[in-house]
Structure 1
Amino acid sequence: MSFLIIFLHVGNVFSFREINFIFVNGICRLGVPFFLIVSGYYFYNVSDYDKLKVWMFRLLKLYIFWTIIYIPFWFSGVNLSLIVNLFNGYYVLWYIVGLLFAGILLFLLRNKNDIFIFYLSITLFVIGYIFQLLGNLHIFSGFWGKLLNFLPLYRNFLFDCFPLLAIGMLINKYGFEKRKISINMVIISFIFVIIESAFNGFIGNRRLDLLVTSLFFVPIFFIFLFNLNSNSNSNVKKLSFFASGVYLSQILFLNSFEKIFPEKGWVMFVLVVICSSLFSLFLIKIRRWIPYII
């Protein structure tokens, strides 16, 4: 999934515009929702304030470390951009901020009825999707047009992270991961992702951080993979560290290679994948001394 996100950030890889759009704004957009479902699944174990504090401080340390690492790329003086990057996160770091606040909100709602949490999640996601749609189609102009095209308006902890985190938590709470999911169900739900992506391209809905079909496909795919690997979980932790390392470090190499490959493409994608993978393995090695880097 981390490699899909690299593909998303590289962008122009396929020569056919339609195929490139569906892949970038469809398939590659499933990476972050998948991470959120997985995070929500394990967030179910955060059952008291002491565990919440440990979880929060780990994310804060992670965020501070990578924000410092990326300072050369985002700091340009004291301005609005500084505020946005500090509180919303530079580039991929928005995910850590979103996960942190979504987790706090979900913890505060932990004693609420689960049906309420589920419907609240769906409602918030749909609201965020509507904001995204209105912005992409440029229905409004002036102030409202600029506001609706302001990415953090809908790609944030409330409309993006919380819904999927909550669904992941509910999967664990009710043991849905133990249910068998057929490959046919995975394929059918994936086809709907392709259809939605193609339709969005047809109507000119260009920026697609939120996909309605991700609410169905990603939980189904997660449960399918969970059953597939239920008897081989010894390397799951290492794999999660590796994926985190690739996700968090990719922009270091993406920004560097952009100067060499301004038009991006396959060569740049492969180079970023190789470099971020090797760097992630290095981070895993030194994690024993600096535990908050991934």
Structure 2
Amino acid sequence: MYQRIYSIDYMRIMLAAFVVIGHAGMGRETFGVYGLITLNTILRLAVPLFAMTAGFFLLRTRQRNKYWLWTRRMAVLYVVWYLIYFLFMGLWHQGVGQSLRELLLGFRHLWFLEGLVVAAVMMHFMVALGPRVMLWSAILLAGVGVALEYAAVGHLIGIPLEIFRSGPFFIYPFMVMGYLFASKLTQPDSVPWSIPARPALIAVMMAGFLLALAENAFFLTTINEYALLEYQIGMFIMAPAIFALVLNVRAPETDLPLGVMASAIYVMHYLFLHFAAQMHVPHPLPAALVAFLVPAALVLLMVRLGRGQRWMAQLF
């Protein structure tokens, strides 16, 4: 069994910041088109790396016979936070059909929680088939997802975003990668390939990054100026290389609940951004700072006071 890897905790809080920056709208007007391409490619690493982290820890969860408990908890979290947003954003004015569609296909940023549930169910049945089958299934589904996205963004087919940005085609491949990394660390012989050395990982990361930039640039210049991709082929190359590099970083130990703070920021930040928009806050930076700092401070306060542990376990 591996010990706590603090570098993953630090990565998660950084990824939470990526999510807030992206959703705050600090994009085209702030950085320009080419800056937006670069920023979009970097910020969209958050979901793949979050999914890999979930898959990484799911091995230990499975070994503790808590796999389905975790899956049910993610499902409950999704429904609870959907209801919270439904109330605070006043969504009862929209039609029942629209509400059901959002709930089933994934509501705003909360789609990630639903995607985790779907991917976890899929992965449960694939684990018994071995790491090779798991990896090939991930590659196949990732390929289908990218093809669907390219066709949709290129106006070749008319399918909603939620079809290809979903548990099967987006979250599952990265969750499998994280699970296989954990398997390699805990039982090296269980995975029939090795993790490349640091120089090779850096080269793979840069190659994936450049490919992702090229993919974004191609669609922005050939389709239209709003044709930003949700994910790219390069992302599936870059993210696992980054994750492997992070695993090898010796980060300072900390008693800060960085993982819980990152989760709280992820689920709560959109509320603050929504309220900022309602109040017509002129610049996205103040809203982004509040959306990041308040959830983190709330978790830290509950931990320091020794209260709210049960609430944190239920909500984050």
Q: Is the structural similarity TM-score above 0.5?
A: yes
Partners of 2:195 and 2:172 lie apart in 1 by 23
2:25 corresponding residue in structure 1: 11
Distance 1:244 1:283 in 2: 15
Percent identical among aligned pairs is: 19
C-alpha displacement at 1:125, in angstroms? 1.0
Q: Residue in 2 aligned with 1:27?
A: 42
AA partner of residue 2 (structure 1): A
Q: Any idea what the Cα deviations from partners look like across 1:138-164, whole Å, max 9, x if unmatched?
A: 124xxxx2xx2x111111111011111
| Cα distance change of structure 1 residues 67 and 211 upon mapping to structure 2, 3 Å threshold | same
Q: Which residue of 2 aligns with 1:203?
A: 222
Equivalent residue for 1:159? 169
The amino acid that maps onto 1:105 is M
Q: What does residue range 97-112 of structure 1 map to in structure 2 within 5 Å?
A: 97-112=114-129
SS in 2 for 1:130: helix
What is the rounded CA distance, in whole Å, between the counterparts of 1:263 and 1:123 in structure 2?
Answer: 44
TM-score normalized with structure 2 length = 0.80
Q: Which AA in structure 2 matches 1:4?
A: F
Q: Secondary structure at the match of 1:138?
A: coil
Distance between the aligned counterparts of 1:200 and 1:70, measured in 2? 33
Counterpart position of 1:226: 247
Question: Of residues 136, 147, 167 in structure 2, which corresponds to 1:130?
Answer: 147
Give me the CA root mean square deviation.
2.7
Instruction: Provide the residue aligned with 2:9 in structure 1.
Output: none
In structure 2, C-alpha distance between the alignment counterparts of 1:135 and 1:159, rounded to whole Å? 14
- TM-score, normalised with respect to structure 1: 0.85
CA gap 1:289/1:51 in 2 versus in 1, 3 angstroms: closer
Query: Contact between 1:287 and 1:293, CA under 8 Å: does it hold in 2?
Result: no
- Count of residue pairs the alignment pairs up: 285
Render the CA deviation track for 1:92-120: whole Å, top value 9, x for unaligned: 11111110111011011111132222111
Residues 215-294 of structure 1 correspond to what in structure 2 (within 5 A)? 215-229=236-250, 232=252, 235=255, 238-261=257-280, 264-282=283-301, 286-290=307-311, 291-294=313-316
For structure 1, the residue ranges without an aligned partner over 5 or more in a row are none
1:5 counterpart letter in structure 2: V
1:67 and 2:44 matched: no
CA distance in 1, matches of 2:247, 2:53: 10
- In structure 2, relative to structure 1, the CA distance for the partners of 1:225 and 1:260 (3 Å cut) is same
Alpha carbons 2:118, 2:167 under 8 Å: kept: yes
1:169 is aligned to 2:179: yes
The whole-number CA distance in structure 1 between the counterparts of 2:61 and 2:290 is 38
How far did 1:64 drift? Answer: 2.9
- What is the alpha-carbon distance in structure 2 between the residues aligned to residue 61 and residue 283 of structure 1? 22
Distance 1:77 1:204, change over 3 A: closer
User: What letter is aligned with 1:51?
Assistant: K
CA distance in 1: counterparts of 2:197 and 2:125, whole angstroms = 31
